[in-house]
């Protein structure tokens, strides 16, 4: 079984487990998803979902965040970790959206990645889930780990992992690939002690790096 065949089988099996995968982050529009995704770095989705309602009650519109006192944003997002950088980036992103994009979250990878703190991973998540546009595969710690373990890449840099993954999956699957691998990584294939004995991919997984 070559990489493309294994990727197809992995996606087929995970699609049965997760038939309609959606982000675990709570949001109701592209800006809310962008903020939630930015806050989720090095933080659990559960924690982020407790913080974002407070954030959006305080600053309901992009224009409100653009004009907010960054120290006040820091206090609201403090529990998500790295709060100073996150607060600075959220405010900067809001300001750029207001000044350069007419107050609307842009809909392309090139534009999104000009926003404060927005790299390809965040941009891919926003594009796929808020706009139905697949320009990339979001590679977080779970996707990176599983792609390596399953022999779909031998890289560790997220950008290079993404480049290896994109040709292996049909374009319209890219968003679901991210969600499925993230959920599976949390439930079955964590960094330590993967549950290979109950894994529905065990027979096709080379288990690279698993002790």
CB 38 within 8 A of CB 82: no
Tokens matching residue 55 = 């954030």
Catalytic residue among 140, 164, 195, 197: 140
Q: Does the annotation mark 22 as catalytic? A: no
Contacts of 184 (CB under 8 A, 6+ apart): 14, 17, 18, 142, 146, 201
Q: Does the annotation mark 197 as catalytic? A: no
Catalytic residue among 4, 12, 69, 121: 121
Contacts of 165 (CB under 8 A, 6+ apart): 7, 137, 139, 143, 147, 152, 153, 177
The Cα angle at residue 156 between residues 34 and 175, in degrees rounded to 5? 40
Write out the catalytic residue numbers. Answer: 121, 140
């Amino acid at each position: 079984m070559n990489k493309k065949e294994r990727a197809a089988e992995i996606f087929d099996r995970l699609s049965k487990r997760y038939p309609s995968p959606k982000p675990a982050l709570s949001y109701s529009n592209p800006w809310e998803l962008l903020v939630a995704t930015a806050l989720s770095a090095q933080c659990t989705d559960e924690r982020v979902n407790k913080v974002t309602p407070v954030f959006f009650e305080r600053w309901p519109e992009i224009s409100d965040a653009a004009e907010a006192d960054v120290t006040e944003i820091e206090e609201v997002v403090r529990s998500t970790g790295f709060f100073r950088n996150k607060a600075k980036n959220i405010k900067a992103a809001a300001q750029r959206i207001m000044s350069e994009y007419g107050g609307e979250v842009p809909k392309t990878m090139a534009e999104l990645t000009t926003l404060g703190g927005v790299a390809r991973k965040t941009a891919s998540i926003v594009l796929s889930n808020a706009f139905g546009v697949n320009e990339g595969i979001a590679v977080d710690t779970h996707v990176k780990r599983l792609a390596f373990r399953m022999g779909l890449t031998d890289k560790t840099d997220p950008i290079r992992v993404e480049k290896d993954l994109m040709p292996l999956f049909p374009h319209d699957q890219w968003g679901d690939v991210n969600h499925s691998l993230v959920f599976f990584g949390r439930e079955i294939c964590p960094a330590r002690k993967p549950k290979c004995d109950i894994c529905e991919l065990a027979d096709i997984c080379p288990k690279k790096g698993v002790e």
